Amino acid sequence: MGSSMRYIVRINIFLVCFAFIAGQARAEISDIIRKSDGTPYFAGDLEASGYCNKHGMRLPTALEYANFARANGASGIRDTKFPNLNYKDSNVQQEIESNSKDGFKAIYRSEPAPKGEILPTAFVSFYYNYSGFQNSSINSGSYKFWTSSDLKVLFHDYVYYFDGRDGSISNDDPDLVGQIAFRCFSN
């Protein structure tokens, strides 16, 4: 193969890689959803989810918001070593404690109760440290934003939300949170 042919092959490989990366970059969190008068659209979690679905999108997950915040200065995300062990397991508890000392908060996921049991099972999904987050670069203002991530504990459903003021991710009963801003995720 001549040198000019190798050059063309390298360019083609570069273009294929660039196209792949560009395709990945298109999956993103939208700007704040606004009403026709330009003010933020505040809604409950189900209404916000319905709005995004109606427009061919969905609410971002807690992990997508953590990555969003990391791109805007947050300290980072850590994986759990025990993704399939109940959070009550002693190994998981030690991992939670160790990460907490480093400023990383456990973000949980839940699965339906195993057959014959009443209570759902909770697992650590990932660890997140939001220190260093800079909200000025992403137009988050002082708003909280719904995520699509939820946590079922006992007989309560908790929904995670992202706080645009400091980059934290918290969960609470959606009825107590009330109506807050939201963004959609397009993929």
* Residue where the block lists tokens 């959609």: 184
In 3D space, the residue among 156, 155, 148 whose CA is nearest the CA of residue 172 turns out to be: 156
CA angle 75, 49, 37 (to 5 degrees): 90
Global pTM value = 0.79
pLDDT tens per residue across all 187 residues of the chain: 555 444 333 333 333 333 333 334 335 888 899 999 999 999 998 999 999 999 999 999 999 999 999 998 999 999 999 999 989 899 999 999 999 999 999 999 988 777 777 667 889 999 999 999 988 656 666 789 999 987 766 556 888 999 988 999 998 888 888 889 999 998 7
* Residue where the block lists tokens 């009963």: 173
